[in-house]
Amino acid sequence: MNTFWQNLYYKTFKSGSKLNLLIGINVIVFLAINIPATVEGLFHPSTIGSYADDYLALPSYLPKLLNRFWTPLTYMFMHAGIFHILFNMLWLYWMGQIFEEFLGKKRTLGLYLLGGLAGAALYVISYNIFPAFTQTGLVVGSRAIGASASVMAIIVGAATIVPDYTISLMFIGPVRLKWLVLVYIAIDFLSITGPNAGGEIAHLSGALVGFVYVKQLQNGKDWIASISKLFKAKPKMRVVSNNREKSSVGVPRQEDVDKILDKISKTGYENLSKQEKEILFRASKK
């Protein structure tokens, strides 16, 4: 048993994977709130869950948001139930692996936070300007929770990197990632006047961030790296060398890229070699 917990601790906090770290934090927060809330509920109506929602969920009502200014960050680690967190974490794990395979482990956390913050911003703005929310009084009592906007940023980011990555869906069969994401986005858009309007709006904002971030990265602009540099200590001494080796990586030939895409459509992305994945990523930056 000790070995199990040690391995779990290592994979979550010591492996270097921000994907494992994010899943671990979400699960820990969910259990820390819901286990004591469930026990409390056996004796009398639980107050733990209501307090957690009141202080950690994101309110759309601006006067309350000013008193809960930390909630644009905390809401993205909250979940409403077991199936809510289960499906969010499964999508984060599946799509996050593709994202980290191509872009490394240093950008996952940054995009997760950017997607969540963008989702929070569009949710609050929408609920305070559209009559569907302001005139019905929904803006006063509405709160948002969940990692969906953050996860959507990762999903769309992965789909932007390898749009032709093929996954197999039960009862449907092989589907390219770009079509799956487009259907998901269409459903979110058509549901923005439904019972979970705030969640759908946040999804769309996270999706937009994931797409724009990867496109900017392919153009040589890394938002996450730029933000990280602001908090990095400047070195006091710099060593300059005149013996610089120039290295360049050629642009992949189109026929090589086409062969790799054909291979993905037939056998799936996971069967690509490391060299083929590198060629595909360099082609995406072209």
31-79: pLDDT as tens digits: 999 999 999 999 988 899 899 999 999 999 999 999 999 999 999 999 9
- Tell me: do 135 and 265 sit in the same domain: no
- Tell me: do 34 and 95 sit in the same domain: yes
Of 7-21, 191-205, 233-247, minimum mean pLDDT range: 233-247
Residue 166 domain flag = no
Beta strand ranges found along the chain (DSSP E)? 58-59, 143-144, 166-169, 173-176
pTM of the model: 0.78
**Position with higher pLDDT, 1 vs 39:** 39
Q: Work out the percent of the chain whose per-residue pLDDT is above 70.
A: 81
- Tell me: do 143 and 272 sit in the same domain: no
In this predicted structure, the answer to whether residue 231 has a pLDDT above a threshold of 60 is no
Q: Which of 11-20, 85-94, 224-233, 234-243 has the highest mean pLDDT?
A: 85-94
Residue 286 is predicted with a pLDDT of 57
- Tell me: do 133 and 274 sit in the same domain: no
Strand partners, 167: 175
Residue 247 is predicted with a pLDDT of 38
Helix (H, G, I), strand (E, B) or coil at 195: coil
Instruction: Supply the range of the domain harboring residue 138.
Output: 2-161+178-225
* Total of domains in the chain: 2
Average pLDDT in the 203-210 region?
96
Average pLDDT in the 236-259 region?
56
pLDDT tens track for 4-24: 666 766 667 666 678 989 999
- Tell me: do 157 and 198 sit in the same domain: yes
Confidence class for position 156, pLDDT limits 50, 70, 90: very high
Residue 12 domain flag = yes
CATH of the domain at 122: 1.20.1540.10
- Tell me: do 151 and 193 sit in the same domain: yes
Average pLDDT in the 132-157 region?
92
Residue 239 domain flag = no
Q: Note the helical H segments in 146-253.
A: 148-161, 177-190, 197-218, 223-230
Strand partners, 174: 168
- Tell me: do 145 and 260 sit in the same domain: no
Residue 52 domain flag = yes
* Cβ-based neighbour number of residue 242 at 10 Å: 4
Residue 220 domain flag = yes
Residue 243 domain flag = no
Return contacts of 8-17, CB within 8 angstroms, 24+ apart: 16/105, 17/100, 17/105, 17/108
Residue 246 is predicted with a pLDDT of 39
Residue 108 domain flag = yes
